[in-house]
Structure formats: structure tokens, C-alpha cells
Amino acid sequence: PSRLAAMLTSFIEGLLCCLTSKPANTVVPVETSEPADGYEFVEVKPGRVLRVRHIIPDRPAVEEPSLGGIVSCKRKITVYRNGQLFIENLGERASAELKTCQNGETEPNSTVEVELTDCRNSSPPAEQSQQPRKRRRKPKRTVVIDCERRIAACKGTHSDVALFFIHGVGGSLDIWGSQLDFFSRLGYEVIAPDLAGHGASSSPHIAAAYTFYALAEDMRLIFKRYAKKRNILIGHSYGVSFCTFLAHEFPDQIQKMVMINGGGPTALEPSLCSIFNLPTCVLHCLSPLLAWSFLKAGFAQQGSREKQLLKEYNAFNVSSFVLRAMMSGQYWPEGDEVYHAELTVPVLLVHGMHDKFVPVEEDQRMAEILLMAFLKVLEDGSHMVMLECPEAVNTLLHEFFLWEPVTLPPPKKEPKARPETAKPQTDNTSEP
């Protein structure tokens, strides 16, 4: 009955919106707890105010030796005009380079220069097969990376470590409630903003305010305001793209990254055939159906616990106008595979096995493209895995924060001639 009443109410409001040409459910910040309870309101631009939860641990900072492994990153990334991407790791202990063909298959230990028809399924004509003519590809773009990065363990008692949590479309900083409480109790300084139009942030009624570039600029200003010497970015879904953007903008300040159900390393482009292209008033009429669909696709189970999580953590409470503007504003052509392959920061990929929004193959592809990536799949989780499995997610994140690579000594070069090899020869000649 309550669902039917909600559907009737939204239908009437949407009908009035279409008749009167007034926006349905104009965006208003939700009621919050006491602002003094770790919440701040930051004006990133005149009239554009974001709510930020900022928790500074009370425990005193303990000096910690700045030890850690040094990772040498030497990569050559080549993109050809037919869409081929070649990643050549040039380091001494680098893994085999990855060759990706147009059909999506990968081949290890491939050479950088290949035939023009290597990734084509069609066979060459008979006259060409009799006299094969080899042509070298002309690369469309070549990127060379050569840097060294020191990876240290980010302990919570250190005063120069900050954790940034960025949510996705339709969420709010409340979805990170378990993570913010867990890591702040451990002594980490945590920062979690509400995107514009979400949670208690201001919501301008103009579609241009919700493009990727507008939201990314907000996150850049928030990062500059709260950043420490060492920072860790944690993003969920659409928020992963903003974390990747920040890692490119501030490569020397980002220590590590966590991508939770973020998808593959592809450039963002809004879908032309999507339900979110419908008029705002129509979307408002369908809002109960959209919320029900999100519950079915975003959670592995749809019981009373999941419904309570959806309501309690404000996981899908956004206006129809903002939802439409967010989906149509996901245009980011720079965020392609090369853009992701340029990242030199260690990345933890967390994926919920039952996620119906992001297939696991996309996160697997992301793990292949990134230089230092670790993919962890949680079998009991879906798209909202931080709400479904908070203890497992917190454990994975904490282990990753404390991780540091082991620096191995360089292998010793063997001498050209050793006495052991010459001794048997002299013994053999002395025998009768």
C-alpha cells in the first residue's frame, strides 16, 4: 500500500510538473544531524556549497619511520589507428607486456611491432597472400613513462595521512558511514564530500552544474583544501572516475587508490538510448520504479535489511532533475585506456560478484591495464558492497593501506669464468 501511494503521489506531482512547467521536486538539501558532528559546508564556488564530513582523530600522532619500497615505473604505451593498444613494461622486473586486439583478446609476451593484419579476423586476398607485403604501423599516439615511486604503509597514527571517500550517482557521503567510523577510530583523518545535488549539498537547477568536468572541479578544490602529504582516494561507481582524475592532477600527493565497482578503463560518454533521457516530469513519475530497480540491481538480496540500508544511508535519494543531468553529463573523452594506463599509483579493485550494473569483466580489464592493481571479488556483495559487507570491505581497505612493497636487492652478476668450471677439466686430464 505504501509503495502504491508513493507511485500515485509521484504521478500526480509529475503530471502537475508537465502542466505547469514547474520543476518537480526541486532539489533541497536533506535534513542533517548537528552540523558540529564532523560536518562542514564548503563553498567551492559562489552559491555552490558542498557538505563535507571531516573527522580529525583525537589521538596524538606517533612518529613513524618513513620506510617503504621503491617501485620503478618504466612504460611505453602505444596506440595505433585501428584501436590496438600496446603496453610495454621496460623495468627490470616488469611483467610481460600486454597486447590487446580489436576483438578484446589478450596475448602475453607479444612484440611491440606486429603486422597490420594481426588483429583482423578476415584473411588477406589471394594475390596478397602469394606476395605478402609487410608494413610497419604508424602509431597514433605514444606515451613514455619513467618515474620512481616510494610506497609506504599508511598507518592511522601518522599525522600526514588523509583518506578521501567519493560516492557515485544517486548516493551521498552517508553510504560511507561504516568506513568513516571504522577508520576514524583507527586514527585516520577522513574526508567525504556530497557531490552537488546529492545529500545536503546545494543543488543548482541547471544541467551544466552536473557535467563530469563541473563535478571534477569541485573534487579538485575539495582535495586541495584537505589534502595532506600522503593521501588515499577511495571511490565508488561514478566516484572512481573522479579519483582517477585527481590521481592525474596530483600524482605526487596520491599514495594509493581504491576503486569499488568502478567499471572498465573506458572514456565516459552518455547513452543516447536511455530511460534517463526522458523528460524530468516523466522520470519523477517513475521514481518509485527506479528506486525499486536500484534495490534489485544494487543489492545481492532484497530483504528488509537491504531496504533499511537503502533508506538509512540515503543511498538513492536524489531528485529526478539531478539524476537526469548526472547521467547525461557523463562525458569524459580523456578517460580512455591510455589515461588509466598512465597511472603509477597502487590500486585496489573491489568488486561485488552480484553487481548487475558493472560486470566483473570490466574490473578485470581495469586490472590488466593498470600498472600495480590488485583485484578482490566479494562473493556476497553487489554494487553497494560497502553497505552489504562493511566488515569485509573495511578489512580489505585496511590491509591495503598498511601494505608496502618489499624492495629486493638487485641480482648479483655471475663472473664470466669460475674455478669450479675449470677444475673438473684438469681432473679429467689427470686420469689415466
Query: Which residues span the domain enclosing 397?
Result: 38-61+151-402
Q: Is 237 a catalytic residue?
A: yes
Catalytic residue among 172, 201, 202, 237: 237
CB 335 within 8 A of CB 262: no
State yes or no: pLDDT of 269 exceeds 80. Answer: yes
Catalytic residue among 194, 218, 355, 363: 355
Q: Is 354 a catalytic residue?
A: no
First vs last C-alpha separation in the chain: 105
Average pLDDT of span 265-278: 84
CB 182 within 8 A of CB 394: yes
Region of residue 152 (phi > 0: left; psi between -120 and 50: alpha; otherwise: beta) = beta
Q: Is 355 a catalytic residue?
A: yes
Q: What is the pLDDT of residue 258?
A: 98
Residue 2 lies in a domain: no
Instruction: Using DSSP, state whether 336 is helix, strand or coil.
Output: coil
Contacts 24+ apart (CB under 8 A), 95-101: 98/368, 98/369
Among the listed residues 268, 234, 228, the one whose alpha carbon sits nearest the alpha carbon of residue 250: 228
Of residues 222 and 303, more confidence is placed in: 222
Of residues 90 and 346, more confidence is placed in: 346
Q: Distance between CA 212 and CA 197 in Å, rounded?
A: 13
Q: Tell me the pairing of strands 48-55 and 189-193.
A: antiparallel
Domains held by the chain: number: 1
Average pLDDT of span 87-97: 59
State yes or no: pLDDT of 251 exceeds 90. Answer: yes
Rounded to two decimals, what is the model's pTM? 0.78
Distant-in-sequence, close-in-space partners of 308: CB < 8 Å, separation ≥ 6: none
CB 200 within 8 A of CB 30: yes
Residue 342 lies in a domain: yes
State yes or no: pLDDT of 199 exceeds 50. Answer: yes
In this prediction, residue 56 has a pLDDT band, given cuts at 50, 70 and 90, of very high
Residue 235 lies in a domain: yes
Q: What is the pLDDT of residue 414?
A: 63
Residue 422 lies in a domain: no
Residue 271 lies in a domain: yes
Positive or negative torsion for Cα 405, 406, 411, 412: positive
Average pLDDT of span 236-253: 97
Average pLDDT, the chain: 78
In this prediction, residue 333 has a pLDDT band, given cuts at 50, 70 and 90, of very high
Residue 202 lies in a domain: yes
Of residues 306 and 226, more confidence is placed in: 226
Among the listed residues 368, 350, 379, the one whose alpha carbon sits nearest the alpha carbon of residue 234: 350
Residue 275 lies in a domain: yes
Residue 102 lies in a domain: no
CATH number of 274's domain: 3.40.50.1820
Among the listed residues 379, 382, 235, 236, the one whose alpha carbon sits nearest the alpha carbon of residue 295: 382
State yes or no: pLDDT of 126 exceeds 60. Answer: no
Percent of the chain with pLDDT over 90: 49
Tens of pLDDT, residues 16-53? 455 444 444 443 344 443 445 689 999 999 999 999 99
Tens of pLDDT, residues 342-396? 999 999 999 999 999 999 999 999 999 999 999 999 999 999 999 999 999 999 9
Instruction: Using DSSP, state whether 62 is helix, strand or coil.
Output: coil
In this prediction, residue 61 has a pLDDT band, given cuts at 50, 70 and 90, of low
